Amino acid sequence: MRPDRKRNVPRVREDPPSWPKRQRNTRTGGPERWRRPAEPWETPYGVERYPGATVLEDWELTLEDQVATARVLARYAVIRVVLLSEAGLLRGVKLFTERRIATEHLALLPADDWERMTLRRVNDLCAETPPPGLPAAILVAAQAAAKRGHVMSAFAFFRTAHHLALGARAWEEAGRAARNIARLARMDEARYSTRLWEWRATVLERRATREREALAVQERADREAADSSPGADAPEPE
């Protein structure tokens, strides 16, 4: 019986079967492991194309709104001063010039605007050495951006506040910043980043609680020592 030419007869392999080879890890010599794609909320402090680039990602949301675009520019000008001064790149006249430029950008916002006031506070606190009150002021400015739905601006400010608060050992402000970043990540359904920042916030909040308790114990001990010291109840000379 002759084979039907119209039938789909499979061809015979000319070469022996082969399987694709797995790529090897150049360091360990083993096969490459699967890597989870990084989430935007995992980007550490200071890893940007240029200082303040994260804030400008909100431009996509404000293309048709001039006031909202002005807000993004004002945030960028202020966060740029914060980042460059913290890195030690702004001294003397350079610092004064950058702060003046940021003030000119803030003038684009309405005079009674709450976010303008918060950004002005951050800009005024920028110095060659970051003052202790700077992280708390940045937190307020970040909350103002978050309320307007500009999540990347809020993330940039929260991340900066977290970094500065850690350097100043301000555990309470650092914990608040980490908790807010976890909320932003949860809104984006970023599961890994949410767990990461929630864990960081929990650790920092516990550290802040222990510090407050230790300070309260020390104040109580100092008060008791002052009350029990000789001459504490002695009448004052007339």
Model pLDDT for residues 99-152, shown as the tens digit of each residue? 999 999 999 999 899 999 999 999 999 999 989 999 999 999 999 999 999 999
**Following DSSP, what letter does each residue of 125-155 receive, concatenated?**
H--SS--TTHHHHHHHHHHHHHHTT-HHHHH
* C-alpha neighbours within 13 Å on the C-beta side of residue 58: 24
CA distances from 211 to 164, 214, 225 (A): 18, 5, 21
Q: Which residue has the tokens 């010599």?
A: 29
| Predicted local distance difference test score (pLDDT) of residue 60 | 84
- pTM confidence score: 0.79
| Predicted local distance difference test score (pLDDT) of residue 21 | 59
Banded model confidence at residue 17, pLDDT cuts 50, 70, 90? low
Percent of the chain with pLDDT over 90: 62
* Residue burial 73-86, b: 16+ Cβ < 10 Å; e: rest: bbbbbbbbbbbbbb
| Predicted local distance difference test score (pLDDT) of residue 224 | 79
Cα–Cα distance for residue pair 144/118, rounded to 1 Å: 8
Arithmetic mean of pLDDT, 195-216: 94
Q: Where are the alpha helices (DSSP H) in 51-148?
A: 66-86, 93-106, 114-125, 134-147
CA distances from 90 to 83, 87, 154 (A): 9, 8, 24
Arithmetic mean of pLDDT, 21-27: 57
| Predicted local distance difference test score (pLDDT) of residue 237 | 53
For 61-104, write each residue's pLDDT tens digit: 888 889 899 999 999 999 999 999 999 999 999 999 999 999 99
Cα–Cα distance for residue pair 138/140, rounded to 1 Å: 5
| Predicted local distance difference test score (pLDDT) of residue 127 | 92
* Dihedral class, residue 52 (left if φ above 0, else alpha if ψ from -120 to 50, else beta): left
> For the chain, what is the mean pLDDT?
85
Say if residues 109 and 71 touch (Cβ distance below 8 Å): yes
